[in-house]
Amino acid sequence: MKDTVTHTPDLQSWVGRTQTTTGYLSAQVAAMAHATLSDDATPAPVAGDVMPALWHWYAFPPTEPMSDLGHDGHPQRGLRGDKQGFLPPVPFERRMWAGGKLTFHAPLRVGEPIERTSTISQITEKSGSAGGMVFVAVDHVLSGAQGVAVRERHDIVYLPIPESYSPPAKKAADMHNVAALREVEASPPLLFRYSAITFNGHKIHYDRTYCQEVEKYPGLVVHGPLQAQLMMDMACKLRGSVPSTFKFRGMHPMFDDGVMRVIAADDGSTVSLNTVAEAGHVGMSASATWGDDQ
């Protein structure tokens, strides 16, 4: 078991920091997202249409100038001269989207202004056999024309970059009682397109040399949000509506090394979902519930 270590004042001083921004999902970006994510012949949503669940992720592209990006392609954290970023100055260089939880209250529409208030709610430092790690939890409240539409907890984990690739233990996927299955080619064009619709400059998704020589990954890393989006799409299609609650958690990095399967099982109260590598292990797990089944 990993022991919690003393929080440093410098990091804890960032808890409670709040940022409010306004964005919107344009019809053009909606068409790009549809072209990247859709597996059927349905038309892309246009201005005024209800946007699919999780597409608010594409409504707030980062706008930091190139001079404010770190060597990994992400906006620099903490203080940058006379500028101050939103996220704390965690000393570890590897960043991963560890997971999240969302509750859905009202629809959002393509083209409508969306207000997002983000708060750093918790910073937890831990240590273990692989070294230190820092978890940063960010709470988002998104509001549209009908009021609060989405409440979201975004969990980020920061780790030191290892001297060699040291993956976590693999969990074999349970392929029994599968209610739905989709196969997606985890290819560089898919990762490029997803980075493009999110304006994500993180090099782990498109720079193979950086992945292998700096962060010691064996290949390009499949975005955590992309995996979550594919699972959400499957849950909505399986039940015919957006769930009340959606939770997801990263289990093992996924790479551009073959077919990624998205699977779902439905026990009547909860839809359980996983992304599965070609080798058979789980990359990300999720659960979706409707109504009072939370």
For the chain, report the end-to-end CA distance as a whole number of angstroms: 28
- Whether the pLDDT of residue 1 is over 60: the answer is no
pTM exceeds 0.75 for this model: yes
Average pLDDT over residues 35-61: 95
Contact 52, 197 (CB under 8 A): no
- Whether 161 and 216 have beta carbons less than 8 Å apart is answered as yes
pLDDT digits (tens, 9 = 90+) for 114-140: 999 999 999 999 886 667 899 999 999
Decide which of 3.10.129.10, 1.10.760.10, 1.10.3720.10, 3.90.950.10 is the CATH code for 3-289.
3.10.129.10
pLDDT at 81: 52
| Helix, strand and coil percent figures for the chain, each rounded to 5 | 20, 35, 45
For the residues 62-79, what does the mean pLDDT come to?
Answer: 83
Residue-level pLDDT at 75:
84
- CA dist 76 and 64 (Å) reads 9
Helix (H) or strand (E) holding 260: strand 258-266
Q: What are the residue ranges spanned by the domains of the chain?
A: 3-289
List of residues 6+ apart from 168 with CB closer than 8 A: 251, 252
User: What six digits make up the tokens of 18?
Assistant: 């709040």
Q: Maximum CA pair distance of the chain? A: 56
Six-digit token string for 134: 């820092």
In this predicted structure, what is the pLDDT of residue 4? 41
Q: Which residues contact 278 (CB under 8 A, 6 or more apart)?
A: 257, 258, 259, 260, 261
Tell me the pLDDT band of 2, cut-offs 50, 70 and 90. Answer: very low
Q: How does pLDDT run across 205-256, given as a tens digit for each residue?
A: 999 999 999 999 999 999 999 999 999 999 999 999 999 999 999 999 999 9
Q: Kindly state the average pLDDT of the residues 101-123.
A: 97
52 DSSP 8-state letter: P
